[in-house]
Amino acid sequence: MSRLESMRRRLTAQIEGLNWAAAQIANLQGDVLELGLGNGRTYDHLRAGLPDRRIWVIDREMNAHPSCVPPEADFLQGDADRMLDRMARAGTRLSLVHYELGIGVPEADAVKSRGLSPLIAPLLVPGGLVISQDPLEGFERIAGPETVADGRYLFYRA
Ligand SMILES: C[S@@+](CC[C@H](N)C(=O)[O-])C[C@H]1O[C@@H](n2cnc3c(N)ncnc32)[C@H](O)[C@@H]1O
């Protein structure tokens, strides 16, 4: 498989995972968190699918496409650990976290995602979801949509 085909497969899994998660949280209270704004593609997809939810965004940098810049009040610029701690102290409750802080280096990315897991868990309402390409700890791993092959994208429930 070429890298281009691999990228298409990853993006398809991501879109289907985000759509699935947005439908799953329909009956849950709580905001949404985009962990890793980057160019803003997945943030844009989330806000299109969840127009009535507040979507918090954490990133240490602002490099989003101009059409995908979150409202100032919802963008927490800084290192994820400090920003997650700030959300916890503010009492924010989340129904869905999309985690994408990885840089495509699996071992380093997994160390980061596992390390941040204990800071994500307290923010979630019971039954809240985390979806991620990188592994998290302390959540129940669940099956996602049938169209996404096992392990291509990871789905967790609090
Ligand atoms: C792969 S990009 C996110 C892609 C994005 N979801 C999109 O659809 O365009 C990862 C982002 O995570 C941010 N990031 C990585 N580690 C971070 C950390 N520890 N704290 C805050 N931001 C971090 C980077 O600045 C980068 O913008």
Q: Is the pTM of this model over 0.85?
A: yes
What CATH topology corresponds to 3-157? Rossmann fold (3.40.50)
pLDDT digits 0-9 by tens, 108-138: 999 999 999 999 999 999 999 999 999 999 9
pLDDT at 104 over 90: no
Is-contact 94 33, C-beta < 8 A?
yes
Question: Six-digit token pair at 158?
Answer: 């609090």
Ligand 1 centroid distance, CA of 127 (Å): 25
> Is the CB of 61 inside a 6 Å radius of any atom of ligand 1?
yes
Residue 79 CA, closest ligand 1 atom number: 20
Rg, the chain, Cα only: 15
**Strand ordering across the sheet containing 31-35:** 75-77, 55-59, 31-35, 94-99, 124-132, 154-157, 140-142
> Is the CB of 35 inside a 6 Å radius of any atom of ligand 1?
no
Residue 45 CA, closest ligand 1 atom number: 8
In this prediction, residues 87-100 reach a mean pLDDT of 98
Q: Which helix (H) or strand (E) holds 102?
A: none
> What are the sequence ranges of the domains in the chain?
3-157
Residue 80 CA, closest ligand 1 atom number: 20
> Is the CB of 93 inside a 6 Å radius of any atom of ligand 1?
no
What sign does the CA torsion over 8, 115, 54, 151 have? positive
* 130/75 Cα distance (integer angstroms): 19
pLDDT digits 0-9 by tens, 40-83: 999 999 999 999 999 999 999 999 999 999 999 999 999 999 99
Q: By alpha-carbon position, which residue is closest to atom 14 of ligand 1?
A: 101
